[in-house]
Amino acid sequence: MLSKDSTYRGRFAPSPTGPLHFGSLYTAVASYLQAKANDGKWLLRIDDLDSFRCKAEYTNKILHTLEQYQLEWDESVFYQRSRYDAYQQALNTLEQQNILYPCQCSRKDLSERHVRNGIYDGYCLNHPIIPNKAYSVRLKLPQTNISFTDAVQGTTQQRLQAQVGDFIMFRKDEIHAYHLAVVLDDHEQNITQVLRGYDLLHSTYRQIFLQQLLNIPTPDYAHIPVVNGPGGAKLSKQTFAEDVSLSPVRQTLISVLTHLSLKPPKELLTYRPHEILKWAVRHWSLKNISPETAIPFNHSLIGLYVITLFQ
């Protein structure tokens, strides 16, 4: 919990692998409202760790879209791509704890032999490595049970070794693991609460474990339900969710607010986006978000508001 004198610091951390869609805007707005309703700062981090999947054109597009919706971030934008040395230093710290090991399994080896129910069987831990062959680096997990209390979802726990298995910390293609980067970046940015989609709840146990290994304090967490598209799958780039920079801003923003359990009055449609956000900050409460894994995308809301506007 936050002590009285500490400032709330929240963040939105999109990966620039595509434009912002309704689901990512919804997460951006929720984290913004939570920060501002707590008189805090809302920081923007671009998770461009994976240089193969992330593109500068999407970074620019995301920044532009946030500006379009008048979601103003505090401080300068933080980029993962500038953090290689910090990630490497943390990896060395873990190396010194003798808990890392090289893994030379190919994708085929993994899918055909060494991964069952998503869990790696530790093959490379017990077999010598082949010289001059590329390898990834895995974290050898002890039998540990990680439990935490999420501000939305309540208390949950995971037995890391049995339910996740030794996970990758450094990829064969020389990219540090997402979990390592997120833990170090949230710490570097002094994030006090991580608010993000429920789909990342299962990552949190690994992240808390890494915080413990690296002696980093654990922030608060709040995992809000994700928005599911018509087929029942999470709205995402993979499901070709629409680019919200092309949607009518005020209507879309108001629709986001209704998906976040707020009840915006119709007159808000005549307000500018930052005034709509101000209204939302005044009415926002994380307590109104129910502990669900997902909510359906209600497309009719945007249309309904468009019709109302022209009545």
The footprint of ligand GLU (CB under 6 A) covers: 13-15, 47, 182, 196, 200
Q: Which amino acid is it at 87? A: Y
- Min dist CB 201 to ligand GLU, Å, is 11
Q: Which amino acid is it at 158? A: Q
Which of residues 210 and 276 has its CB atom nearest to ligand GLU in the complex?
Answer: 210
137, 142, 143, 147: CA torsion to nearest 10: -80
- Min dist CB 200 to ligand GLU, Å, is 5
Whether 138 contacts 169, CB under 8 Å? yes
Which of residues 14 and 165 has its CB atom nearest to ligand GLU in the complex?
Answer: 14
Distance in angstroms (rounded) separating the CA atoms of residues 15 and 297: 21
Q: Is the dihedral of CA 265, 266, 270, 274 positive or negative?
A: positive
Residue nearest to ligand GLU (CB): 47
- Min dist CB 213 to ligand GLU, Å, is 18
Q: Is the dihedral of CA 20, 23, 24, 26 positive or negative?
A: positive
Contacts of 26 by beta carbon, 8 Å cutoff, 6+ apart: 227, 256, 259, 260
- Min dist CB 193 to ligand GLU, Å, is 12
- Min dist CB 16 to ligand GLU, Å, is 9
- Min dist CB 294 to ligand GLU, Å, is 15
224, 230, 235, 239: CA torsion to nearest 10: 160
What is the maximum span of the chain, computed from C-alpha positions, in angstroms? 73
* Residue with tokens 């359906």, as numbered in its chain: 296
- Min dist CB 191 to ligand GLU, Å, is 10
277, 228, 27, 171: CA torsion to nearest 10: -160
Which of residues 217 and 303 has its CB atom nearest to ligand GLU in the complex?
Answer: 217
Which of residues 47 and 150 has its CB atom nearest to ligand GLU in the complex?
Answer: 47
**Per DSSP, which regions of the chain are E strands?**
9-12, 41-46, 78-79, 100-103, 115-116, 119-120, 136-139, 145-150, 154-159, 168-170, 193-197, 220-224, 226-228, 294-296
Which of residues 170 and 221 has its CB atom nearest to ligand GLU in the complex?
Answer: 221
* Residue with tokens 């893994």, as numbered in its chain: 103
- Min dist CB 196 to ligand GLU, Å, is 4
Which of residues 103 and 226 has its CB atom nearest to ligand GLU in the complex?
Answer: 226
